[in-house]
Amino acid sequence: MSGRTRPFAGFEWMIAARYLRARRAEGGVSVMTWISFIGIALAVFALIATLAVRSGFRHEFVATILGANAHVTVYSATRVTDTGQEVRVLEDFDAAAARVAELPGVTRVAPLIKGQVMAASTSRNAGVEVFGMRAEDLRTLPLISDPPESAGDLDRYGEGIAIGSGVARELGVGVGDRVRLISPNGVKTAFGTSPRVSAYEVVYIFSVGRYDIDRTRVYMPFSEAQSYFNREGVADELEVMVADPDRVDAMAPQLLQAAGEHALVWTWRDASGAFLRALEMEDNVMFIILSILVLIAAMNIVSGLIMLVKNKGRDIGILRTMGLTEGAVLRVFFICGASVGVAGTVLGVLLGCLFAIYIDPIFNAVNWFAGGGVWDPSVRFLSRLPARLEWGDVLSAVALSLGLSFGVTVFPARRAARMNPVEALRYE
């Protein structure tokens, strides 16, 4: 009859459930079961939480890089003019922009003036980077024209400047206040170059959520920037955006050809690729470390099963004499260990998903208990701790946990299955 019994039959589940409910008087197996269950749950929770934060970091960084910066920057190589002066500007920038805009896959081209200056208010000052851009081009920049937080009116951009929220906070200014911009390369006179100082009204304040943008960036009308930085009739570079940023390297030859002679390109991968590769390497290391934690938690299942097999030696002997095969005994104890792994994995997935979904209130509570200052955006460049729940990460954590739980369970289960019933009942 036992030969006709299908694997994982109902009686095997019944015996395994009875063993899992063993009382403390029967060897403390229930305590080890709870320890194994909690260990697996916490390890899976930590793995999913880490993967969610990792994905959140990557998504936020790439989103802000692509939403507030050029996918490709087209600029000119350094050349010497007839007067012996070295220049690095685009002279026929409108024509070059028109040629680049005609390329398939290019969604936006904008001439740009860039310069670093000192910004000053009534009693404060800060170093900033000025981007001279036309109003119609600024409105097509996603994270600037439609940021998570903003103040003022972008339609008044031609009357003043737009600044990041970090710049506004550093200078202590708001919409309607005036900011003085001081450039060391200003008016050229017979006695040398004197600094240029100009005051502008703040008409728009944006916050994209990335510290190095909000804290340093100032947008100025293109024509005003040409005058301010002595760039009359020229542009420093072309800011290009494409439909598929991941294929930007393949488009570089076409961009060079369209931009004309002396043109060079600098992609977003050139600017941020090293950081993203370092982040990916760190992610892989963290996954390996947390996988070891899951393995350690799974080893508790082995300890519990070894104790269970030792305490149930008499029962195993009786079941074997009643006709249970080695395979049936193996499956009984496999179910015991696997059930703990599955239950712990389910709880860990639930906790990890809740952590990723409600990370903001959880982090605010942690920050409140710690007295503030837990998150420093000047170091991490993001104004908040990001988390992004991706099903691929969840499935990889589930596969790892279940794979380890099932794998380590086989060894003590095989030991139980190979137990000699005569030896088990010798002293009974």
| pLDDT 10s digits, 135-186 | 999 998 888 888 888 999 999 999 999 999 999 999 999 999 999 999 887 6
pLDDT of residue 2: 45
For the ranges 137-151, 164-178, 268-282, 313-327, the maximum mean pLDDT occurs at 164-178
Distance in Å from the first CA to the final CA of the chain: 27
Look at residue 304 and give its three-state secondary structure: helix
Is 19 or 267 the better-scoring residue by pLDDT? 267
242-279 burial, b at 16+ Cβ within 10 Å, e below that, comes to beebeebeebbeebeebbbeebbbebbbeebeeeeeee
pLDDT interval class at 284 (50, 70, 90): confident
Domain extents in the chain: 2-63+275-424, 78-261
Are 260 and 91 contacting, i.e. CB atoms less than 8 angstroms apart? no
pLDDT at 3 over 70: no
Q: Taking residues 22-27, what's their average pLDDT? A: 54
Is 360 or 114 the better-scoring residue by pLDDT? 114
pLDDT of residue 173: 92
